[in-house]
A and B are shown apart, each in its own frame.
Chain A
């Protein structure tokens, strides 16, 4: 009898302990949502250099109304947020393969019913669907496009009496002329693999073939990609990659030991005529030499000037996750961000191109060279950006420009692609 009582007491005590633990957990968990006043939402931003700009936007928004309070966040782990079930309510991120994973799995809500969605240029919205997307949804709204092409030193071009080349032959002639004059034609930074993929590789491939179409076919081939498939890296990209090597030979001698930072400084000091980087490098170059006159032109890969195209990527894209606690508030902030004046001010400050039909044109001399190609929809997304990150594409490309056999390396890429397709 005494033993049974003791046992019951113990059970009661365990019960109380469990109940207390649960109550504590609930109380702690409740803290976040119990606060009264305006609806609190978090706004995640992935671009560190744009933090000061969006801090001001957020401040303006918070003071313009009382219903919603936005907190800017750029330090959290996004994957952990989604896993935990409390992702940021609004995201403004670089749109790439990593982001497409969230989209593909339906973690992002449909924004197609927002009036802002109809203002986006259809050919820009189409860029989103070139990467894996969720059928029937407008999961992300393109916010700003970064256009990339060859950056050239206007003074060096003028001094050597060279016009902006519009055909492959003109480009090679310009390179030879510069070389003969003792000027390094192209500044390359092979030490950082991403610069090879972003510049030399993407420009030569994008100027030669239809990138999105190529990957569409490649995805259809799936596990069959290899020597016998209709398209493959080895077969389709052989010619562009040969030309990439041809151009790489015009680089500075010390390219294999130069990184992105070195390239910016050297180019700012006028050590070379051309530099294959995006608009993000312009700000870095200006840190060393703010008065340098620079321009941009798409890399000509054929002898038809009508084939000229610029590389683009969705520098920033907006989304609202399905798991957001407060979608109406999140959408209200999305509308605020999508106002034309907010978008135009951002693009002007960060050398981006507008994504909407009513966007203001770029005004900065350094990027206006790309405006007409962008307006005409003559652009492509970088070929290296279509490949899953688990394939070390950038490193393969780095080895090609530093002397590896191009054919073998491309067939390795085919094999990797097929293996990844098998894994699903």
Chain B
């Protein structure tokens, strides 16, 4: 950008531009050592605290003994360090089973959402001139305005009738509820992919299916990451749907089995925080390793193309 601008300026002015640039540089401090913007740093520091403080409380609480956890000092360091909260939480929630089911439900929802939404969006975006596809797009979008609680009662009965009162039913519903928003993202993104690419594939003899799987779907990857992240968050954190849909309590997901820690009459902060920490850990660890892609993915929806 700057080189382009400089090139278009007549030679005499170039010196003035250079001088101005050096002035700004001096104002900013020495080269390679930009002056710290204290205002922004403090704001960002405070923002970071809102994440770090609860995280600190979660970790320290989970390591406290029961007597220390209820004493009203959330910020005190655990002494002595007590791991019994973890073992109690592990046993009370039957952690391995609930965790596996949560993982399965989330993974299937993410994969299902990405595949179905991509397929539907491809069909819709490339047939936009046809009424059926256009209307089906609006129809699918309309689902975005239907929150689950509104349709909870009929959904409970329907899944019960169809023998889907289990994690499979939750997967189907998660995909369904995630579909409209994902299709919105995918169709917008698909419009920015030049049609000529597909035409060249056609000339090389690719069928529609081949064009999609070998050309379009890989090109959709950044948007698939975005859609996948949203689907992951929605599915992993969901409480209400699994709690209502899954009939067999031994097949419940993690957020639902953790509700036993929320009671009116007793406080077991160390056990509940140990359990929350174990539930949070996979997401946090996954984020540490994939934050680059997550950041790219989340901003993808905001800045199109």
Query: B-contacting residues of A (Cβ < 8 Å)?
Result: 25-32, 42, 48-49, 51, 71, 73-77, 80-81, 83-86, 194, 260-262, 264-265, 278, 280-281, 283-284, 287-288
Contact = CB atoms under 8 A, between A and B. Distances in A.
Interface of B: 66-67, 70-72, 92, 153, 156-157, 159-165, 243-250, 252, 256-257, 259-261, 263-267
Contact of A75 (B161, B256, B267): B256
Nearest to B250: A71
Contacts of B163: 25-32
A75 to B, nearest CB: 4
B260 A74 contact: yes
A75 B67 contact: no
Which of A29, A77, A83, A283 has the most C-beta atoms of chain B within 10 angstroms of its own C-beta?
A77
Contacts of B259: 75
Contact of A281 (B244, B246, B249, B265): B265
Give chain A's interface secondary structure class: helix
B263 A81 contact: no
B115 to A, nearest CB: 21
Contacts of B248: 76
Contact of B162 (A28, A32, A284): A28
A288 B71 contact: yes
Contact of A83 (B72, B92, B153): B153
Contacts of B264: 194, 260
A75 B260 CA distance: 7
Contacts of A283: 266
A280 B165 contact: no
A386 to B, nearest CB: 19
B245 A80 contact: yes
A262 B264 CA distance: 13
A265 B70 contact: yes
A356 to B, nearest CB: 24
Nearest to B160: A84
20 contacts: A27-B163, A32-B163, A42-B249, A49-B263, A49-B265, A51-B260, A71-B250, A73-B250, A75-B259, A75-B260, A80-B244, A83-B157, A84-B159, A84-B160, A84-B247, A260-B265, A265-B70, A265-B71, A280-B265, A287-B70
B249 A73 contact: yes
A262 B70 CA distance: 8
A77 to B, nearest CB: 5
Contact of B247 (A81, A262, A288): A81
A27 B259 CA distance: 32
B17 to A, nearest CB: 62
A387 to B, nearest CB: 17
A83 B72 CA distance: 41
A48 B263 contact: yes
A84 B165 contact: yes
A91 to B, nearest CB: 13
Given A81-B247, A265-B72, A284-B265, 11 more contacts: A25-B162, A25-B163, A29-B162, A76-B252, A80-B243, A84-B160, A261-B72, A262-B72, A278-B265, A280-B265, A288-B67
A188 B135 CA distance: 61
Contacts of A265: 70-72
Nearest to B159: A84
A261 B265 CA distance: 9
Given A51-B92, A74-B249, A75-B259, A280 B156 contact: no
Given A49-B263, A86-B160, A75 B252 contact: yes
Contacts of B162: 25, 28-29
A194 B260 CA distance: 19
Nearest to A31: B163
B121 to A, nearest CB: 25
A283 B66 CA distance: 12
